[in-house]
Amino acid sequence: MNESSSKLAQALTTLKSIQDNGHQVIRSNQLSRTERETLIKYGFLRSIMRGWYAASQPDEKLGDSTPWYTCFWSFCAEYLDDRFGQQWALSPEQSLALHIGDRTIPTQLLVRSPKATNNSIELPHKTSILEVQLKLPEQAHLTTLNGLRVYTLAAALVYSSPKNYTQHPIQMRTALSMVSDASDILKVLIVGGHSAIAGRLAGAFRNIGRAIIADSIINGMAANDYRVSETDPFTDKILIDFGRRQLSPYSNRIRLMWSEMRNDVINLFPEPSSKPADINNILEKIDEQFVSDAYHSLSIEGYRVTEELIELIHSGKWDPNTSGESKKHLDAMAAKGYWNAFQKVKETITSVLNGANPGEALERVHGDWYLALFSPSVAAGIVSQQDLAGYRSGPVFIRNSMHTPPDKEAVRDMMPTLFDLLIEEESVAVRAVLGHFIFVFIHPYFDGNGRIGRFIMNLMLASGGYPWTVVPVEKRSDYMHALEAASVKQNIKPFAEFLGRLVNTSD
């Protein structure tokens, strides 16, 4: 082994040891100067700020934000502990986001600390930390989530800004829905003498159908000689019923997003031209789209496949046993898996066209689609068989996205809710647009989410007489930006408009 290789091997060994000890970010004093410079030279380390680094891979493109977004929250926890000790907390608004499982990367993270200097710390990819010098609430009103010091749910609701109700209604309603009774909130309100805030919270709870909690707040404050004038901080009413004690923030968040977004989809999505009666004719037209759909869908995900390979698989003439290294080639296996899954999707479309409820049909077979998509890769030893055992068992990140998919426990709550919403939804357009978006928002699998999301879209489109619609790889940037707007800003309009234009050109 030459000297350069030896240095790199030693540096990587040290880096692995640091990561094995639970560190996603690396301090400069954890590495020797030679190790640090070697890892930077070969692309295994990228600078966050002076003295702080993020691990990366040499094949990651310059400007790729994924390594930074992946370690953002870990960096903030370690950096803020290093800077302020235990004398800091995220803002009440950011605390609420984390309580409901929303780990979207903010462009500016607001941090409160009595030791702060009211400065903004610039971080990679146009993100920053704004430290504000403020006294912290009493210790009982603070807690820790994944190393981040935050306000408790009750304290965050009390101290959250009034404008947060109008700027982030989904977040606020989801957090309110987690509260089972008024006890913890009343403790914060009474100790602080917050009669105006009590009126706002009472109105907010009544808005989401939790009248008992609203009345308890008013009565509890009155019993302590505080007069409360109830006001509703939201600008609209909701059309969903949370139930008396449905406390899963993950399920409620999905239901709120669906309710908030569906009217925009209905208003922006084109009506179907006409619903063909001949099922065989519909399936023939879908078959005609396979080569184009497979090429574009796989290319969007970064696979390098040719239309010739896809056509060979389509015709049944491709034989992995006589295709040289293709048997071990990820791209070829992905193309074969796409063909297998496409057949499963057609079977589901047939059942729906024969009268099955699209949401119920999807719930029964979506796991079969996933298995079909990756079974060739399992057979070739590219993918582990245990990776196909249900939903993902760990975290996953979307390249260059500020949206962090929910954790594995949340997936188990969100997926049944998605199916319930699809089963109950009457609008074909809403099923197609939100079915695709919510599925990739949840990201229930380690891989294949985009392909299955587009299959869901086309299943729902077919159920209402729309044509099979291909998302072209040439429009990948527009497609991903529209999904990002929906995921990060809860703005579904760009995505509904984008898919609507594609549907119009598919007629």
Which pairs count as long-range contacts for 35-41, CB under 8 Å and 24+ apart, including other chains? 35/7, 35/10, 35/11, 36/11, 38/7, 38/8, 38/11, 39/8, 39/11, 39/12, 39/15
Report the C-alpha gap between 425 and 388 in whole angstroms: 29
The response to whether 451 counts as a known ligand-binding position is yes
Q: How big is the chain, counted in residues?
A: 507
Q: Which of 168, 329, 366, 443 is the catalytic position?
A: 443
Among left, alpha and beta (phi > 0; psi -120 to 50; other), residue 124 is beta
The response to whether 492 counts as a known ligand-binding position is no
Residues 6 or more apart in contact with residue 99 via CB below 8 angstroms:
145, 150, 153, 156, 175, 178, 249
The response to whether 452 counts as a known ligand-binding position is yes
Report the C-alpha gap between 248 and 227 in whole angstroms: 32
The response to whether 40 counts as a known ligand-binding position is no
The string of DSSP letters for 417-468 reads HHHHHHHH---HHHHHHHHHHHHHHH--SSS-HHHHHHHHHHHHHHHTTPPP
Residue 204, token pair as written in the block = 């907010």
The response to whether 209 counts as a known ligand-binding position is no
One-letter identity of residue 468: W
The response to whether 447 counts as a known ligand-binding position is yes
Residues 6 or more apart in contact with residue 401 via CB below 8 angstroms:
69, 480, 484, 487, 488
Q: Find the DSSP H helices in 162-278.
A: 164-167, 169-177, 183-192, 195-207, 211-223, 249-268
The response to whether 102 counts as a known ligand-binding position is no
Tell me, yes or no, if 443 is annotated catalytic. yes
Exposure of 182 by Cβ count < 10 A (0-12 exposed, 13-18 middle, 19+ buried)? buried
Three-class secondary structure of residue 495 per DSSP: helix
**Contact yes or no for 176/168 (Cβ under 8 A):** no
Annotated binding residues, as ranges? Answer: 447-454
Give the catalytic positions in this structure.
Answer: 443
- Annotated binding residues for ATP, written as ranges, equal 447-454
